[in-house]
């Protein structure tokens, strides 16, 4: 189970917790304070970020990830860390892990490719799975610079526990980051889609679900007699077949277990093989 960490007060990341979605302003405020405030309201982010002591976690941008003295200093602050990995190699990320882990266990890595906008073939979502294997005790996330939301949603399906996307009020504004950012409607759709996918991921346990019962009653098959089987006959495969039968009897997956057993009464052709018709107390009789 990946490490769970409290990234913000009351908001845990990792394990079975919902993906933590970060709407990053970056430089898309165009240097305009009013625009910056509007974007903060849009993303519903705290305005206390200017007060360093109240910052709930530190974000290490890709450009500083291989700045090891900076990493050490940041890790020693003791606050949770979100570390992007754009422009870095796997060997560098292993070094980052070795530096940060002893100083501060509460951190996560984000798969990231530093290009704006990012082309799909350069996203490399499979790095998320590789990070999960190499660093199983920290949450893994994704920082996306692509257009649209589909790739980001796919990252969550692959197990990303933190998702970061840049936001803008207008993609047509000057600057390469705007075209790779999400406008308000797209951000809202991203959140809805991520939550939908999280619901769809469900459980790894494969079983017949209550919602399938109606379909199973209508389409579920049973083992039936392929021919008339006289009382006392030892069952062989050529006597049995699988059909939709009423009432329900042995499920198809039990057909091989019936071979070699004795029927206690005569079974007519196409009749369902019911449990009470078969001697289940004795061992199989080899023909």
Strand, coil or helix: what is 241?
strand
Q: Are strands 240-243 and 222-225 parallel, antiparallel or unpaired?
A: antiparallel
pLDDT value of residue 171: 74
Q: How many CA atoms lie within 13 A of 117 on its CB side?
A: 15
Higher pLDDT, residue 46 or 20: 20
For 29, the token pair is 């405020």
pLDDT tens digits, one per residue of 226-238: 999 999 999 999 9
* Contact between residue 109 and residue 135 where contact means Cβ atoms under 8 Å apart: yes
* Contact between residue 168 and residue 117 where contact means Cβ atoms under 8 Å apart: no
pLDDT tens digits, one per residue of 160-199: 999 999 988 877 676 667 777 888 889 899 999 999 999 9
Q: Does the pLDDT value for residue 29 go beyond 50? A: no
pLDDT value of residue 239: 98
pLDDT value of residue 51: 35
Backbone angles phi, psi at 182, to 5 degrees: -105, 135
Distance of alpha carbon 165 from alpha carbon 117, whole angstroms: 12
Give the confidence band of 37 by pLDDT, cuts at 50, 70, 90.
low
pLDDT tens digits, one per residue of 242-283: 999 889 999 999 999 999 999 999 999 999 999 999 997 554
* Contact between residue 239 and residue 226 where contact means Cβ atoms under 8 Å apart: yes
For 51, the token pair is 């007060």
Q: Does the pLDDT value for residue 32 go beyond 70? A: no
Phi-psi region of 240 (alpha: psi -120 to 50; beta: other; left: phi over 0): beta
| 209 exposure class (CB count in 10 Å sphere: 0-12, 13-18, 19+) | exposed
């Amino acid at each position: 189970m990946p490490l769970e960490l409290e990234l913000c007060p009351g908001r845990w990341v990792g394990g079975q917790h919902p993906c933590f979605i970060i709407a990053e302003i970056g430089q898309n405020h165009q240097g305009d304070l009013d625009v910056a405030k509007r974007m903060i309201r849009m993303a519903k982010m705290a305005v206390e970020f200017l007060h360093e002591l109240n910052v709930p976690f530190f974000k290490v941008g890709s450009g500083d990830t291989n700045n090891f003295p900076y990493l050490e200093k940041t890790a020693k602050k003791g606050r949770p860390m979100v570390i992007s990995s754009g422009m870095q190699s796997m060997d560098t990320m292993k070094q980052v892990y070795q530096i940060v882990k002893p100083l501060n266990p509460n951190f996560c890595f984000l798969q990231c490719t530093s290009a704006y906008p990012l082309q799909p073939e350069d996203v490399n979502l499979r790095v998320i799975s590789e990070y999960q294997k190499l660093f199983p005790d920290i949450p893994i996330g994704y920082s996306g610079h692509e257009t649209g939301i589909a790739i980001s949603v796919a990252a969550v399906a692959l197990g990303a526990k933190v998702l970061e996307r840049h936001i803008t009020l207008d993609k047509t504004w000057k600057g390469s980051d705007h075209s790779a950012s999400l406008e308000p409607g797209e951000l809202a759709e991203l959140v809805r889609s991520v939550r939908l996918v999280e619901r769809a991921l469900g459980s790894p346990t494969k079983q017949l679900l209550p919602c399938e019962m109606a379909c199973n009653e209508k389409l579920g098959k049973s083992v039936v007699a392929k021919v008339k089987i006289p009382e006392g006959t030892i069952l062989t495969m050529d006597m049995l077949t699988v059909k939709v039968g009423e009432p329900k009897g042995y499920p198809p997956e039990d057909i091989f277990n019936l071979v070699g057993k004795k029927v206690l009464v005569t079974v007519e052709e196409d009749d369902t093989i019911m449990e009470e018709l078969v001697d289940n107390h004795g061992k199989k009789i080899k023909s």
